Each structure stands twice: as C-alpha cells, then as structure tokens.
C-alpha cells in the first residue's frame, strides 16, 4: 500500500470477521515492528502473540473489559510490553528526567510500526490500553521486569469506520 494511503486508511476497528489470522502473517508484522527506532537501539519492546483459539478465548475473557472483548472478537491479540530500566538507562541510572518513559516511548514507536505493518498486510487493528495487566501477566507468564502496556487486536475488519477528526494543525504544532 502506498504510504499516504496507509496512514490515512488506518483506523481503530471495533468489529472483526471470525476469520483466524495466519501465524506467518503475524510473524511478519511483528518482525516489521522491530524495525522501529529505539534509544541506543536498546530494543526493549516485547510481544506476546495470541493466535490460537483456546488462548485467545482465555486472554480475551480474563484480560479485557467487556467492551474491549466485544470490539476485538474474531481478531488475534498481541500484548506489547517493554523491559523496565534499560532504555535511556546507564548502569541502572536514568539518563534523563523522564526515566522509564523512554521505554514506553520506544514501545509506542514499535506499536505504531506494528499497526501500519498490519494495515499494509491487509489487516486492521485496535490498540487497547484498558486491560487487566495482572491477569495478562499470570496467563502469559510475562516476567516482572516487563511493564505490560497495550493489547492490540489484529484481524479482518467487519466495519468501515469513518475517519475520526484531527485537531487543526495550528492547535497542535508551532512553526518557527
């Protein structure tokens, strides 16, 4: 897909077909997300990909509130985390006042690549920040050193959502 089309056509999709996503396609998307930049190439983003029916059902039921369960029904789920205390840290000391926010920043970049890679592969996504991180940690055995951030639904869309309006450029950007 042409780049401008890709960024304009990506939407948060909240209705998916009951059509499994091939694991090889998911692997490709996750691999493309790895191309995102990160602080000193520290690559602290981690992904936990739920593609099979049984784990998906359990993850959805235990790890998501009901509205996000409904919105992501039929889609695969990718949990994204980052390893704390590494990105923008030297010998355990934060390099800037932002501390671990840089780890979250790196993961945001990673996830942006991921949703665009999914779109490019003919899939749609929903980033979900409302989730039960403790239930997800227990179910997927995610190490304590990682902060669990988002759950991303990836699947075949069953709706055509309208473009959500963006603020005027003058409100969010200043040019000097």
Taking only Cα atoms into account, the Rg of the chain, rounded to an integer number of angstroms, comes to 17
Residue 79, C-beta contacts closer than 8 angstroms, at least 6 positions apart: 47, 48, 50, 59, 63, 136, 140, 142, 148, 150, 151, 152
Q: Which stretch binds ligand FMN (CB under 6 A): 10-18, 80-88, 95-103, 138-146?
A: 10-18
Nearer to ligand FMN, 109 or 127 (CB): 127
Position 44 contacts ligand FMN (CB under 6 A)? no
Q: Which residue's Cβ has the minimum distance to ligand FMN?
A: 129
Among positions 7, 61, 130, 138, the unique one binding ligand FMN when judged by CB under 6 A: 130
Site string for ligand FMN, 46-75 (x = CB under 6 A): ----------------------x--x----
If residue 106 lies in a helix (H) or strand (E), which one and from where to where? helix 101-120
Nearer to ligand FMN, 14 or 110 (CB): 14
Among positions 92, 129, 143, 165, the unique one binding ligand FMN when judged by CB under 6 A: 129
Give the integer Cα–Cα distance in Å for 92 and 134.
25
Give the integer Cα–Cα distance in Å for 81 and 61.
20
Give the integer Cα–Cα distance in Å for 25 and 54.
19
* Nearest distance, CB of residue 88 and ligand FMN, angstroms: 20
Q: Which residues bind ligand FMN (CB under 6 A)?
A: 11-12, 14, 68, 71, 126-130, 150, 164
């Amino acid at each position: 897909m042409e780049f401008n089309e890709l960024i304009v056509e990506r939407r948060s999709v909240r209705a998916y077909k009951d059509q499994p996503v091939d694991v090889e396609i998911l692997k490709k998307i996750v691999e493309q997300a790895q191309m995102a930049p990160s602080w000193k190439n520290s690559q602290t983003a981690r992904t936990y990909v739920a593609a099979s029916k049984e784990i998906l059902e359990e993850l959805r039921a235990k790890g998501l509130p009901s509205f996000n369960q409904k919105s992501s029904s039929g889609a695969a789920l990718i949990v994204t985390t980052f390893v704390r205390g590494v990105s923008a840290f030297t010998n355990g000391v934060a390099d800037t006042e932002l501390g671990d926010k840089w780890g979250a920043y790196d993961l945001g970049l990673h996830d942006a690549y991921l949703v665009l890679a999914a779109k490019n592969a003919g899939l749609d996504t929903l980033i979900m920040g409302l989730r039960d991180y403790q239930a997800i940690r227990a179910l997927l055995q995610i190490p304590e050193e990682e902060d669990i951030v988002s759950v991303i639904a990836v699947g075949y869309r069953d709706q055509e959502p309208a473009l959500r309006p963006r603020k005027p450029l003058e409100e969010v950007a200043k040019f000097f």
